[in-house]
Amino acid sequence: MIFDEERPKKPVGHDIGCDLSAMSAEELLARIDLLRGEIERLEAERGRKEAGKRAADSFFKPRV
């Protein structure tokens, strides 16, 4: 007999384009929160990279 606490946990993640029909409303909200967190992480990294590029561009700007 297998008890709920012994079952392996589903990995938390999201595959783009996966079937959402089997998910509950609560699971969908959790997935939305997960994706919003990932978007924030991506935007923060993009900001760091853009700042680094601006710094490099200003440092290597040709002097006239």
- What's the CA gap between 39 and 19, in Å, rounded? 21
Q: Where are the domains of the chain?
A: 25-59
Alpha helices in the chain (DSSP H): 25-59
pLDDT higher than 90, residue 52: yes
pLDDT higher than 80, residue 6: no
Confidence bin at 4 (pLDDT 50/70/90): low
All residues at 6 or more sequence positions from 48 whose CB lies less than 8 Å from its CB, including other chains: none
Cβ contact 23:31 at 8 Å:
yes
- At residue 18, the 3 state secondary structure works out as coil
Query: Which residue has better confidence, 4 or 27?
Result: 27
**Can you give the pTM of this predicted structure?**
0.66
pLDDT for 8 equals: 67
